[in-house]
Chain A
Amino acid sequence: MVFDTQTLTRVVERCFDLSMSGALPAETRAQYNAHGKRLRELLMQLLGARFDANSAEFKQATDAMHQTNHALSEAVDDLNKVTQAVARVTELAGFLDKALGVAKRVIS
């Protein structure tokens, strides 16, 4: 069951507002203050329950995010391999360059 925390929040705040209102006698203000505290306690219990209930959804979303991050990690590795392949071609070109240098000396 989903409850309206926003409305309950406004009611709690209204109680505290009235506990500070000069339009009310001191005794009534004290009563509103007590009501505000009591209602807030109940609100916190409801919020705590909702917070815990939502945790399952968080865990589900977290698992999905794990998979996304894993796929990303593989993409990074994949790109590194391509970069390494270019580096290897560069290395090969370097070897050929040296070999041709030797060949040139032999021919001349």
Chain B
Amino acid sequence: MNLTRTWRIMHKDLRMGPRSPIFLYAILLPVVLTFIINGVFGSLFEPTPRLGIVDEGASSIVAQAQQLEGIHVTEPSDAATLRKMVEANDLDAGLVLQSGFDEAVRNGEMPLLQFFVGGESLASNRIILSVATIDMVRQIAGDPAPVEVDIVTIGDPDQLPMASRLLPMLMIYAVFIAGAFVPASSLIEEKQRGTISALLVSPATVYEVLAAKIGVGVILATLTGVITLAINDAFGGDALALIIILVTASLMMAEVGVMLGTWAKDLNALFATVKAGAILLFYPVIFYIWPSLPQWIPKLSPTYYFLQPIFDLGVRDATLSDVWGEMAISLGFVVVLAPLVLIMARRLQRKVAIST
């Protein structure tokens, strides 16, 4: 195999690539997804209780409420607006503090506590907001409870937030689209336009052509992977190990991509196969989102063996020595796929020869 020729074919693909929408997708979409996940999906799995307060006097409750951890406090302009928001489930609960409320509490006048909840608010949020409000009122009354509360954290103190657990989903998407889909679609376009025939009647061999496609996939997927990790604040720690595993992941996906590209007769077939079959590569991400699910199931997918090291290195600050086992298995998959790629290469050569 002539590396110079392979590089020339790769160079052509890299130069032409930015004109192709799928190439741009591969770079841009992980950025878009990161934005969606972090900016929009943040509250999907962990909805924080939402409290609205209308303070018609200068109550100290508002300042107290804003110090509360994990409760989202809003101050609508008036009680009518507050009630509308609560009823529309824009807030879980509302509190209207009439003028002189604090004074009345201190004086033992038992003022009316205008605290109401929305019909669609979760019962758990109602409890949380109710006890929080009562606690704030007690503090105004100034009568401390005869009990001290000691909060004890047990088990693993390092449980991860949802945004971190969604990182594998971003990574598999980035690596798959750039590493597999780009080479696959490029190969199919070459077949459809007939340029593959022109390549194969030149000194370039079919192995060099596929190697070039794999090369493009690896470069693009690694780059996309680095960008995705960086914008998700996960490219710290052992950067070299991260790059090694990204390259391995990209190689695996690129091999899958060229096999898909040689097999699929057109882009419709490629798209349909990906639509139906990609779940086998993507499903491990579910087990990061819900860690209580049996963790042996994702180990049946080859993508687990690069997702887990990336997760450990990027999120849990692991080092190469912690992840070398999975990385080795990942590399093993790359080696196992190689003969299949060669078989598909010969098949491609035969198909092109017949159809020319």
Chains A and B come from one and the same complex: no
Interface residues of A (CB under 8 A from B): none
